[in-house]
Amino acid sequence: MSRLIIVSNRVAPISEGGPAAGGLAVGVYDALKETGGMWFGWSGDVLPSGQPRISVEERGPVTFATIGLVRRDYDQYYRGFSNATLWPAFHYRADLVQYDRHDFEGYCRVNTWLAQQLVPLLRPDDVIWVHDYHLIPFAKALRAAGVKNRIGFFLHIPFPASQVLLAVPPHRELVESLCSFDLLGFQTEPDLRSFCDYIVHEANGTADAPANGRPTTVQAFGRTLHAAAYPIGVYPDEIAELARAGESGKPVRTMRATLHARKLIMSVDRLDYSKGLVERFRAFERLLEQSPAQRNKVSFVQIAPPTRADMHAYQDIRVQLEGESGRINGRFAELDWTPIRYIHRQYERQVLAALFRASHVGYVTPLRDGMNLVAKEYVSAQDPDDPGVLVLSRFAGAAQELNGALIVNPVDIDGMAEALATALAMPLAERQSRYREMMAQLRENNVSVWRDNFMRDLQAAGSVEPVRKHAGVSLAD
C-alpha cells in the first residue's frame, strides 16, 4: 500500500486527547492516526535568521517531519499573504483584504522552499495530500522539482464566488497553481461550484457536470484534473464516549454548580472575525431584551482562545468582543448571575465534549466557515435521552448536512434571538428526533469516510495530461 504524506502549513503538536484549537489539526490527525504515514510542515517556530533544519520524530504510526520558518518568511508567507490576503478574501471579507506583492512573492518562495525540503523524504509510490490555503502553489513547486507522485489538495476554508476571488490580485496565478494538483477537494458543493465557475468564466477552461458521485473533470491552463466536494467529518461515537466520560469530571461539576439549574448556551471557536461572535453576542442580548422571563434563567458561555494575535484584525475583534461582553453583562447582570462568560483559554477535547453535553443549546453562527467541526462535535457529544439543540449558521459548510439544526442567518439578530428562544423551549421528542437525524448523518460521513473517499479518488486520478490549448489561455505547467 502507498504511504500517505500529509502536508499542511502547521503540524500541530498533538497529543492524544489534548487541546487542539484548529479544525485542520483535529481532522488531519484523526485521519492519519489510523492509516499511519508522514505529516510534514511548519513546526510553529519562528527563527530570527539562519537556515532552518528538518526535525523528524516517530510517534506511533505517524512520522512528524517539521521545520521552522525565518522571521521574514513568517511575515510574508504566513501573516502576510496567507492570513491578511487569502483568509479574509476566502471568507468573503473583501473589506479586510490587504495585499502586498512582496508578500505574494514570499508566499511563492516559501512554498518552493518547503517543497524542496520534502523532496528528499519522498518515495516513488507515496501519495501526497496537501492541505489548505497556505500551500496552493505546493504541487507546482513539487512538479518543478521533478516529483511525479499523485498529489491532491483539500481546501478547509470556503472557495469564494468568482467576483470575490477577483479581489485577490494574483487570483489567476492561484487558480493556475491549483490546476497542478491531480485532485482538488472542497468542503461543500457550493465551494466546488464557485471553483468551476471561475474555471469556465475567468480561465476559459471547462468543467463537466458532476455525475454519479464521480469527481468533476476540469480542463484549464493546459492540464486535466479532477475536483469534488468531500465534507470533513468527525468520529461521533468517539466524541460521545469522551463526553460521557468527562461528565463526572471537575470542570463540568464546577460549571453545573455555578449554573444553579439555569440553562446553558455554549459556543466554542477560535477567536476570529469569520466566526460571527459580535453578532452572536448581540443576538443573545436581544433574547434577554425581548424575553424578560429568560433573565437569570440562562447563561451563555463563549470559549474563544485567541489566534493570530500578532495581526491587527485579530486584535480589533478581541477588543470589540471584550467591549460587547462587558456592555451586555453590565446591562443585565445581577448579584448572582453573569449572563455571558467569555473565556479565552483552550480546553482538552474531553472537557469540551462534556461541556457540550451539559449544555442545552450549541450556538454556532459563523459569518462564513468551510465546515465548522464544533457544530459536528456538539451534536456528537449529546445525551441521546436528553439532547441539546444546535443553532447553526447557514453559512457554515456543516449546514449543508445537519438538517436537524435550527438554521439561522448570522446577520439577522432578531432571527437568531428567536431561534435561541425556540431552542430553549423545544420539547424533548422534537430534540430527540432532530438529534437522531443528525447523528445518523455524522456516522455515515465520519472522518474516515472523508479520508477514504478523497484517497480513492486521488488513487484513481490519472496522470496529468496536457490538453488542447484554449484560445486566449496561456499554457503553463
- Closer to ligand ADQ at the Cβ: 204 or 448? 448
Instruction: Indicate the residue among 64 and 159 with the shorter CB distance to ligand ADQ.
Output: 159
Tell the residue number behind the cell numbers 500541530, with chain if given. 12
- Rounded distance between C-alpha atoms, residue 4 and residue 125, angstroms: 9
By beta-carbon proximity to ligand ADQ, the closer residue of 185 and 339 is: 185
Contact 167, 97 (CB under 8 A): yes
Task: Find the shortest distance in angstroms from Cβ 146 to ligand ADQ.
Answer: 31
3-class SS of residue 71: helix
DSSP string, 311-331: SHHHHHHHHHHHHHHHHHHHH
* C-alpha cell belonging to residue 424: 430553549
> Considering the complex, what minimum distance in angstroms separates the CB of residue 186 from ligand ADQ?
11
Q: Between 156 and 286, whose beta carbon lies closer to ligand ADQ?
A: 156
Give the closest residue to 369 by CA, choosing from 160, 158, 155: 158
CB of 266 to ligand ADQ, least distance (A): 12
Q: Return phi, psi of residue 398, to 5°.
A: -60, -25
Q: How many CA atoms lie within 13 A of 349 on its CB side?
A: 26
Q: Which segments of 91-157 does DSSP mark as H helices, in order?
A: 101-118, 138-144
Q: How many residues does the chain have?
A: 477
What's the closest the beta carbon of residue 28 comes to ligand ADQ, in angstroms?
8
For ligand ADQ, which residue has the nearest CB? 23
Asked if 36 and 61 touch (Cβ cutoff 8 Å), the reply is: yes
Q: List the beta bridge partners of residue 299.
A: 264
The three cell numbers locating residue 245: 466520560
For the bound state, the minimum distance from the C-beta of residue 268 to ligand ADQ, rounded and expressed in Å, comes to 5
State the nearest-atom distance from the C-beta of 304 to ligand ADQ, in Å: 7
Provide the grid cell at 158. 470556503
Rounded to a whole number of angstroms, the CA Rg of the chain reads 23
**CA-based torsion, 181, 183, 188, 190: positive or negative:** positive
User: How far is the C-alpha of 375 from the C-alpha of 239, rounded, in Å?
Assistant: 12
Q: Which is nearer to ligand ADQ, 132 or 285 (CB)?
A: 132
CB of 306 to ligand ADQ, least distance (A): 10
Nearer to ligand ADQ, 82 or 219 (CB): 82
| Minimum gap (Å) between residue 12 Cβ and ligand ADQ | 10
Question: Which residues on neighbouring strands pair with residue 7, listed in sequence order?
Answer: 40, 130
Element (H, E) at 163: helix 162-165
Which strand ranges, in their side-by-side order, compose the sheet holding 37-47?
55-59, 62-70, 37-47, 4-10, 127-131, 150-154, 183-186, 223-229, 216-220, 206-207
Bridge-partner residues for 361, per DSSP? 265, 389
Shortest Å distance, C-beta 8 to ligand ADQ: 10
Contact 341, 198 (CB under 8 A): no
**Within the chain, how many helices (H) and strands (E) appear?**
17, 16
Q: Name the amino acid, one letter, at 390.
A: L
From start to end of 403-442, where are the E strands? 406-408
Closer to ligand ADQ by CB, 115 or 399: give it: 399
263-268 β-sheet, strand order: 340-343, 298-303, 263-268, 361-364, 389-393, 406-408
Which residues belong to the active site? 156, 369
- On whether the CB atoms of residues 76 and 110 are closer than 8 A, the answer is yes
| Residues found near ligand ADQ in the complex (CB under 6 A) | 19-24, 26-27, 156-157, 232, 268, 270, 303, 305, 346-347, 352, 369-374, 377
